[in-house]
Structure 1
């Protein structure tokens, strides 16, 4: 007789019913879209972060020499109705942190970042290409 695995249909729904409630909402987080461009003089990284302020962005080089990007976005919306005398607040919070390994030809001391129109742009200048040295070595 061959072993048979039965699919128990109540098992997943019990956990879904327990975990997918208003008391324990699903985490709804997404990472921002990232574009990376390369030119002769620099690498440019663009992160889409609509509505982000520069105060909520942190760009650094960590102990391993990797680029660390952290974005913490807090938004509070207030709606006041003077006829009914109540105040409604809606909070939104999102947090993103990622490490990126940098290419060897990036000048880490000259990396710059700016936020404009909802896009965090990080410019990473490249080192000047070294001249190739060709010379004959005399064998003695």
Structure 2
């Protein structure tokens, strides 16, 4: 078993294929900073409201799109600014917040979503996307004459 594992580790072509399989999927190896923002979705009688956390991003960094008329896509390629130290010689002791903040989130809209009336606003690190609902049609009653 150890010999087989050693042969596998020394085979560059096999390692390349394994690495390729690992890096395939929703996120490329180069895009390891891509994150999925947290979201709350509220359904009222007239609309759907999406609240998405986008801390540190401005509205110019965020894109709201519609794919295939049914998928709401939220994405951003923003850069969070670092505060420079006030005193000369200051340095960061710990860096946990990403400088480049790439986000992506997709939502499948329900059948009663009115895709022609989508609005969005970004305030205090929260993106709010509102999608109006199509009012239900009233059932038609047809009188049929009996012969």
**TM value normalised by structure 1:** 0.68
Q: Distance in 1 between matches of 2:105 and 2:36?
A: 9
SS at the partner of 1:44?
A: strand
Q: Secondary structure at the match of 2:116?
A: helix
Partner of 2:113: 106
Name 2:100's counterpart in structure 1: 93
Cα distance between partner residues in 2 of 1:79 and 1:33: 30
TM-score (norm. length: structure 2): 0.65
User: How many Å apart are 1:116 and its aligned residue?
Assistant: 1.0
Using the alignment, how far apart are the partners of 1:69 and 1:108 within structure 2?
A: 15
How far has the Cα of 1:139 moved from its partner?
A: 5.9
Distance in 2 of aligned mates of 1:28 and 1:99: 17
The gaps in structure 2 that reach 5 residues or longer are 3-31
Looking at structure 1, the residues matched to 33 and 134 of structure 2 have their Cα atoms a distance apart, in angstroms, of 40
Matching of residues 7-22 of structure 1 within 5 Å:
none
Which secondary structure does the structure 2 equivalent of 1:132 belong to?
Answer: coil
1:76 corresponds in structure 2 to 81
Gaps of 5+ in 1: 7-26
State the shift of 1:105 in Å: 1.2
Question: Who is 1:122 aligned against?
Answer: 129
> How far apart are the structure 2 equivalents of 1:119 and 1:34?
9
Query: Which one of 53, 57, 67 corresponds to residue 52 of structure 1?
Result: 57
The secondary structure found in structure 2 opposite 1:108 is: strand
Structure with a larger share of its residues in helix: 2
CA distance, structure 2, for counterparts of residue 35 and residue 139 of structure 1? 54
Structure 1 vs Structure 2 CA RMSD: 3.7
